[in-house]
Amino acid sequence: MTTKNSISESEFDDGTNVEVKDSIAKSYQYGFVTDIESETAPKGLNEDIIRFISNKKNEPDWLLEWRLKAYNHFLQLVENENIPEWANINHDPIDFQDMYYYSEPKPKKELQSLDEVDPELLATYEKLGIPIAEQKKLAGVAVDAIFDSVSIATTFKEELSKYGVVFCPLSEAVQKYPDLVQKYMGSVVPYSDNFYSALNSAVFSEGSFCYIPKGVRCPFELTTYFRINTQETGQFERTLIIAEDDSYVSYLEGCSAPMFDTNQLHAAVVELVTLNNAEIKYSTIQNWYPGDENGKGGIYNFVTKRGRCIGDNSKISWTQVETGSAITWKYPSVILQGDNSVGEFYSVALTKGHQQADTGTKMIHLGNNTRSTIISKTISADKGVGTYRGLVRINPKAENAWNFTQCDSLLIGDQCAAHTAPYVEVKNNTSHLEHEAFTSKVSEDQLFYCNQRGISSEDAHSLIINGFCKEVFTQLPLEFAVEATRLLEANLEGAVG
């Protein structure tokens, strides 16, 4: 077999499916639907829909062509029944014709300030705990909020533009910076990478674009809140972040969605590119609706996230806290191409009730002296099933590559499960790899020990869980870390004891 210089999400296989049974889920705090008239394309997936989306976005020909190529690739995969089944997850077949691929809140007019934003939208943000109006005043955070498929409000734009930082909806970038978009979009995750990236490339309708020019340390943490709103609308965002030589950016992504009956598909693509000495830190809190007590109605989250350290001495770091979704299928990865480049992956994934998560990372070492670190913490409660799936590949030309992998599992109760599937491919013997793993169970005896000291079982669980996740939480920006802690605690309420 020849050595590959890139990777594909379809490379994992050998997943064993696990049966999911009934359980009790905590009612979802953020379950509500905003009543805003949507402009929605008819259900179904075909060339016309793709042309409709492209037309709506006023896209150049090359982009429409690219979408259509992706669509044809997707059709081939469907025809050959090449729908991924290797992950350790289980779900009913998705009917791709029974979904909407485009919707947007009706634009009233050009928005000059937040005052002009639909108050109902703003109220929705308030409910989600995202007071944009306040965030405008609060220093340090620029928000490009995605509501359904169209960006509504972008703040701090002026401030950012002083530094030459571009942070805008992808559709705007297509108009304003077509060369950059054309050069990099699909360069890290080609449309042909996997089933869901093909689908995304065909029908994506929104996303974020971020460009950090040479020598600039982005002064704010850039934040995007994703939100799925229209019933049965598949969400296909694309994010593209480009960090030029000697630049730095920290990017935060957080989300939450309302309660629905029908499973919602979410297939995003995120691409990161770092040039010489550049660094991107990408943090995610994912808190989508996991489904009701019967496991019904939760979000299906099939995401392709990947970064390419093109430049020497560059660095890409993924940190994720995954607590939501009925199904999570996600492997934020790094291609370490430049010499001395660094890739990091820090993850906490919680599954409870009927949730299933199959997540991990891939570190592909191509350059010399490349280093990667993987810290994965899987927490399973109730009947949750958590799987870590990771790949570390050292290519023949990568001299002195280094990897440290630690994947730990914490089991709460005895009906949940955790699996680890670490794959290692070493083709250069100057490399150094270390692997650690342990599984711990919150035992009755440990709980009693805490109780005997006056600590309630609930407090004991949050002590143990926060301890378990600490190495990951310390990687998060402070506010996010606080939020992550709160989220885990809220999610485990009632699931333990």
Partner 1 sequence: MLEVKDLYSTVSGKTILNGVNLSIKPGEVHAIMGPNGSGKSTLSYTLAGKPNYIVDSGDILFEDQSIIEMLPETRAQLGIFLSFQHPLEIAGVRMDQFMRSAYNSIQKQNNNEELDVLKFNRLLKSKSEELNVDSDLIQRFVNHGFSGGERKKNEILQMAVLDPKLMILDEPDSGLDIDAVRSVADGINKLRSESKSTVIITHYQRILNYVIPDYVHIFMDGKIIQSGDKTLALQVEEKGYEIFN
Binding site for partner 1 (CB under 8 A): 440, 443-446, 448-457, 459, 463-464, 466-468, 470
Given a contact cutoff of 8 angstroms between Cβ atoms, the answer to whether 158 and 244 are in contact is no
Beta strands in 244-355 (DSSP E): 248-256, 264-266, 269-274, 279-287, 299-309, 315-322, 327-330, 333-336, 342-351
Instruction: Please state the closest distance from residue 443 (CB atom) to partner 1, in A.
Output: 8
Q: Could you write out the three-class secondary structure of 386-413?
A: EEEEEEEEECCCCCCCEEEEEEEEEEEC
**Percentage helix, strand, coil for the chain under 3-state DSSP, each rounded to 5:** 25, 35, 40
Least distance between partner 1 and beta carbon 460 (Å): 8
- By C-beta, is 46 or 440 nearer to partner 1? 440
Residue 135: CB partners within 8 Å, gap ≥ 6? 141, 143, 155
Nearer residue to partner 1 within complex by CB, 220 or 468: 468
Least CB distance from residue 471 to partner 1, whole Å? Answer: 9
**Residue 409 CA from chain centroid, whole number:** 21
Q: How far is the CB of 473 from partner 1 (least distance, A)?
A: 12
**Residue closer to partner 1 (CB basis): 16 or 451:** 451
Pair 324, 354: CB distance under 8 Å:
no
Q: Which is nearer to partner 1, 188 or 472 (CB)?
A: 472
Note whether 477 and 250 are within 8 A (CB): yes
Distance CA 240, CA 269 (A): 9
**Cβ contact 88:358 at 8 Å:** yes
CB 459 → partner 1: shortest distance, Å?
Answer: 6
- Where do the DSSP E strands lie in 156-197? 166-169
In the complex, least distance from residue 469 CB atom to partner 1, rounded to whole angstroms: 8
CB of 411 to partner 1, least distance (A): 13
Q: Name the minimum Å distance from CB 452 to partner 1.
A: 5
Nearer to partner 1, 76 or 440 (CB): 440
- Find residue 328's DSSP bridge partners: 301, 357
Our CB check for partner 1 shows the closer of 249 and 321 to be 321
Residue 42 C-beta-side C-alpha neighbours within 13 Å: 6
Select 62 or 448, whichever has its Cβ closest to partner 1.
448
